[in-house]
Structure 1
Amino acid sequence: MSVIVSLIYFILILSVIVIVHEFGHLIAAKKFGVYCKEFSIGMGPVIWKRQKGETQWSIRALPIGGFVAMAGEDEEGEEEKLEIPFERTIPGIKKWKQIVVMAAGAIMNVLLAWVLFIGVSAYQGQVVIDKGAVVGDTAVGQPAEKAGIQKGDVIVEISQRDTHETINSWTDVSSFLLYNQGEVTLTIERDGNRMQVALTPYQDKETGGYLLGVTQGAGSYEVKDISFLEAVKYGTLEMFDGMTTIFESLGKLLQGIGLNNLSGPVGIYKATAEITQQGWISTIAFTALLSVNVGIFNLLPIPILDGGRILILVLETITRRKFSEKTQTAIMMVGLFMLIGLMVFATWNDLVRLFM
C-alpha cells in the first residue's frame, strides 16, 4: 500500500474518532443549554456551511478532526458581542454539568468502539475463544527449541523475578513479554506433568515484539458460531478487554515499566498502514480499539486534556472556590509541557523502532 493511501486512511480514522468525540461534547452542551456557535468537520478555511438553529454546521478545508465552539470556552469576549447570557456559557452552568460536558467526548468514543466491536462480531458470525497457550511447531535454533519446549506443551504460567502471571491465552504471553524483557521462566504442562524452563525471548525487528520462537498450536483456540444477540455479548467483552488492557498498560507506565513501548503519531500511522492492508474488518476493529484509547487518554488527569479540566472542576467543588485565571493558565501550561514531553518521547520511540 502506498504511503499516500496509508496517510489518507490514517487521517480518516483519526478524524472519525475526533469528530465523534467533539459531537459528544456538542450533545451534552446543548442538553444543558450551552450556546454552541459552530460544529465543524475539519480545520482551516470554511468551504461549506449551513446554519441550523443557533449553530453553524461547517466543513473546513483541512480534513483533520473537527471541533465544537461552545460559549465561554476559548472565545474570550465573543459572548458579550453576541449578547449571550452567562448561564448559557460553559462557566455559567453548574459544575456537575460542566463535568458531564467534558466527559461526554470520551463517553462517545467508548460508545463508538462498542458499536464497532458488536458490528464486527455480528458480521463475522463467529468468535475465537481462547483455550490456552498450546505450543505448535518450534523454530530450529530459537529460544523455545533450545530450552526443550515441544509441540503440544501448554504454557500455564510465566514469571520473571517477583512478577508472576497465570496464562490463559497466547495474548497473555505476548503481553507479559512486552513489558518484561530479558530471561523469563515458563511453567509448562506436558502429559499431565508440570515443569519449568528458563529462556530469553528475542525481539522481532519488524513488530518490535518479543518472541519465543514457536507457532500457536491448534488447541489454543476454538471457533464458535454466534447469533446477533451473542455478538452483542462478545462485542461488549471485546471492548472491556481493550479497556482493561489500557488501564493495565497505564499502571505499568506509572511504575516505569514498558516506557520503551510507548508509541506516538508515527507508531499509530505505522500500525494503521499495516492493519488497513488486512481488510476493512480489521480496519474497523482497529478503529474501535483506537477510539477506546483516545477516550480513556482524554480522561487522564492531565491539565489541557478533558480529564485535567474535570480535575480542576472537582477541586473547585471540594474547596468551594474558583481558581483564578492566572492559576488555571499556569496549570494548563504545565499540562501542555507534560503532553508535549510525552509526545516527543513517544515519537522518539517510534523513530528508533522505525530505523533500528
Structure 2
Amino acid sequence: MEVIAFIVGVVVLVVGLAVSIALHEFGHLIPAKKFGVRVGQYMIGFGPTLWSRRIGETEYGVKALPLGGYISMAGMYPPSPKELAAAASGSSAGRAGGGFFATMVQDARAANDETLVNSENDGVFYKLSVWKRVVIMLGGPVMNLLFAIVLFAILLSGIGVQTATTTIATVSECVIPADEARTTCEPGDPAAPAAAAGILPGDVIMSVDGVEVATFADASDIIRASAAQPLEIVVDRDGEMQTVRLTPTTAMRPVFDDDGVPIVDENGEPELVEVGFAGISPTVEYVQQPIWAGPQAAFERVEAVAGIIWQLPVKVYEAGMTLVTGEERDPNGPLSVVGAGVVAGEIAALDAPVLNRVAGMLSLLASLNIALFVFNLIPLLPLDGGHIVVALWEGIKRTWAKIFRLPEPKPVDATKLVPVTFVVVIGLMVMGGVLILADLFNPISLF
C-alpha cells in the first residue's frame, strides 16, 4: 500500500509540474499574441511529440518529457543582413569559418532568419518596444509566482496551519526523567502535576496565573517559567469554568534552536535547561489564516529561494561532495526533479491523515513554482532574465541616443551571446546531473 501511495505522490508531482510549466508558457503566450507577435508553437515538455493540434497560426502540443516547455516566437533576434540579402537574391550565404562558436552563432541566426524571410507583417518579437518585450518575458515567471500565491492561499487560508490549541489532548500520569528513553510510568515515578491537580483531557485552558491565553504556547511559556511555583489555572470543562491549583515540577529538557534542532555542547551531548513541567499535551487542529497569509508566505519563500539560487554552484558542489564523504545533506539545499519526486512520494506515503498529505503536496508544488519564478529571472540567456536584460540594454542604448541626439542604434543582436548561452546550458546540465546523482544515492531525508 505504501508503494502505491508513493507512486501516486510522484504522479501528482509530475502532473503539478506539467501544469506549472503550462502556466509559465501561457504567461509568455498571452502577452505575445496581445502584442501581435506570431507564435508558431506552444509546447509542454521536450522530446518526441505525444499530441499536437494547430489552432490558427499556433501549434499546441505535449511532448514526452515534462521537464520544461517553450513557445516559438517569430523574430526573437534581429535579422542578419547577410542571410536576408542572400535569401532575397535566391542564393545561399554559405557557412562562415571561425570555429565551433562561430558556427553556433551562424546556426542561431539562420534559424531565427527562417521566421523573418518573406515575412508579410510586422509580427516579430525584436520590433516590439522595450516594455512590451519585458512584459512578454516576465509573463512566464510571474505566472509561476501567481500560481504559488494561489496554492499558498489554499494551503493557509483554505486548509489552515496545524496549531496547538488550548484544548488538552492528554494528561501524563507521571514525570519521566529526560535522560531515560521510555514512555511508560514505573513504580516510584512522581505523579505529574496536571494529573495531581485534576486536569482532564478535553479541558480548555482559559487562563494561567490570571493571564488569559489564546494558544497552548502562551500557556506553556508561563508554566515553563514557573517551576515549583503554584499556579491557578482556569479551564472550561463541558461549558463550566473550573479553577485548579497546579505546581509545575522542575524538569530538565533539551534546548532547541530556531529551526527546532537540539543544541549540543562541545562533547556532542544535548544541552539541558531547567523548566516547569505540568504533564499536558495539546490538541492540534488546522487553524485558517487571514487571506493575506498566502501572498506573504509566497514572498517570504521567494527571499529564501533567492538566497539559495545566488549561491547555487556552491550548494550543488556541497551536495556533490556528500556523495564522496557520505555526510548528511543540507535539508534546505537544492533538489533536482528526481529529489522533488522522492519527497512527493514520501509525503503521499506518510502514515498521516489525508488532509496532512494534501497540505504537504500543496506546499511542495507552491515551493517548486517559487523556484521556477526565481530561477527564470537569473539574468543569463537562455533564461527569461537574460532576454529581459537584452531588452533593457537596448532601451538604455536608445535612451542614450535620444538624449545626446545620436543616430538610432541598431537592435541588440543577442545571437552574439550564443557562446555564453552554450556555456550556461552546459553548466545547468552539469549541476542538474550532480543533483540527480545526489538525490538518487544520498537523498535529503525530510521525514
Shorter-chain-normalised TM-score: which range?
A: 0.5 to 0.7
Contact 1:243 1:292 in 2 (8 A): yes
Contact residue 44 and residue 63 of structure 2 kept, 8 A: no
Q: Which residue of 2 aligns with 1:118?
A: 153
Secondary structure class of the residue paired with 2:115: helix
Report if the CA contact (8 A) 1:262-1:349 is conserved: no
How does the TM-score come out when normalised to structure 2?
Answer: 0.55
1:127 aligns with 2:127: no
1:83 is aligned to 2:133: no
Q: CA shift at 1:319, angstroms?
A: 4.7
Query: Is 1:341 the counterpart of 2:345 in the alignment?
Result: no
**One-letter amino acid matched to 2:51:** I
Q: 2:24 aligns with which of 3, 10, 21?
A: 21
In the other structure, the counterpart of 1:214 is none
Q: Shift in Å at residue 299 of structure 1?
A: 0.8
Question: How has the CA–CA distance of structure 1 residues 94 and 272 changed in structure 2, closer, same or farther, with 3 Å as cutoff?
Answer: same
Change (3 A) 1:297 1:276: farther
14, 20, 29: which is aligned to 1:11? 14
Cα distance change, pair 354–292 in 1 and its aligned pair in 2 (3 A)? closer
Q: Which amino acid letter does the alignment assign opposite residue 45 of structure 1? A: T
CA contact (8 A) 1:15 1:63 kept: no
Q: Is residue 17–residue 109 contact of structure 1 (8 Å, CA) maintained in 2?
A: yes
**Which residue does the alignment assign to 1:238?**
297
1:33 aligns with 2:36: yes
Match of 1:310 in 2: 388
| 1:11/1:63 contact within 8 Å kept | no
Matches within 5 A, 1:255-294: 259-260=318-319, 261-278=333-350, 279-294=357-372
Determine what percentage of the aligned residue pairs are the same residue.
Answer: 24
SS of 2:112's partner is coil
1:67-118 CA-to-partner distances (Å, cap 9, x unmatched) read 32222248524434673534x2111111222122111111000100111111
Q: Deviations over 1:16-55 (max 9, x none)?
A: 111111010112212322222333345533634252x543
Which residue of structure 1 lines up, in the alignment, with residue 64 of structure 2?
62
Q: 1:251 to 1:339 in 2, by over 3 A?
A: closer
How many residues of Structure 1 are paired with residues of Structure 2 in the alignment? Answer: 293
Q: Which of 46, 49, 63 is residue 45 of structure 1 equivalent to?
A: 49
Instruction: Give, in angstroms, the shift of residue 234 of structure 1.
Output: 1.9
CA contact (8 A) 2:74 2:115 kept: yes
- Post-superposition shift, 1:275? 2.4
Q: Please, which of 287, 295, 314 is the counterpart of residue 225 of structure 1?
A: 287
Give distance in 2, aligned partners of 1:305 and 1:91: 17
Aligned residue for 1:303, secondary structure, equals coil
Read off the aligned partner of 2:430 and give its amino acid letter: G
- C-alpha displacement at 1:5, in angstroms? 4.4
Please list the CA deviations of residues 306-334 of structure 1 after superposition, one character each: whole Å capped at 9, or x if unmatched.
12222333334335565445522122112
Partner of 2:88: none
Report what 2:91 is aligned to. none
Give the Cα separation in 2 of the matches to 1:82 and 1:11.
41
Contact 2:39–2:58 under 8 Å retained in 1: yes
Q: Distance in 1 between matches of 2:421 and 2:370?
A: 24
Change (3 A) 1:121 1:151: farther
Which residue pairs with 1:161 in the alignment?
Answer: none
1:95 aligned to which of 130, 133, 137:
130
The verdict on how the C-alpha distance between 1:189 and 1:327 changes in structure 2, with shifts beyond 3 A counting, is: farther
Residue type at the aligned position of 1:9: V
- Structure 2, unmatched stretches of 5+, are 77-107, 166-175, 182-250, 320-332, 351-356, 399-408
Find the residue that maps to 1:76 and give its secondary structure: helix
Q: Secondary structure at the match of 1:332?
A: helix
Q: d(CA) in 1 for partners of 2:361 and 2:347?
A: 6
Q: Distance in 2 between matches of 1:36 and 1:265?
A: 29
Cα drift, residue 355 of structure 1: 11
> Would the alpha carbon gap of residues 13 and 300 (structure 1) be closer, same or farther in structure 2, given more than 3 Å must change?
same
Residue 149 of structure 2 aligns with an amino acid whose one-letter code is: W
Counterpart amino acid of 1:277? A
Q: Cα distance 1:354–1:248, how it changes in 2: closer, same or farther (>3 A)?
A: closer
- State the one-letter code of the partner of 2:23: V
Q: 1:156-182 deviations in whole A, cap 9, x for unaligned?
A: xx5xxxxxxxx3xxxx346x99xxxx9
Cα 1:184–1:98 change in 2 (3 A) is farther
Q: What are the ranges of 5 or more consecutive residues in structure 1 without an aligned counterpart?
A: 142-149, 159-166, 193-216
Partner of 1:300: 378
> Alpha-carbon deviation of 1:300?
1.4
Is the CA contact (8 Å cut-off) linking 1:253 and 1:259 kept in structure 2? no
| Distance across 1 between alignment mates of 2:58 and 2:434 | 39
Residue 72 of structure 2 aligns to a residue in which SS? strand
The residue aligned with 1:209 is none
1:255: how far off? 6.9
Report what 2:440 is aligned to. 351
Counterpart amino acid of residue 21 in structure 1: H
Checking the alignment, whether the CA contact within 8 Å between 2:162 and 2:287 is kept in structure 1 is no
CA RMSD of the aligned region, Å? 4.0
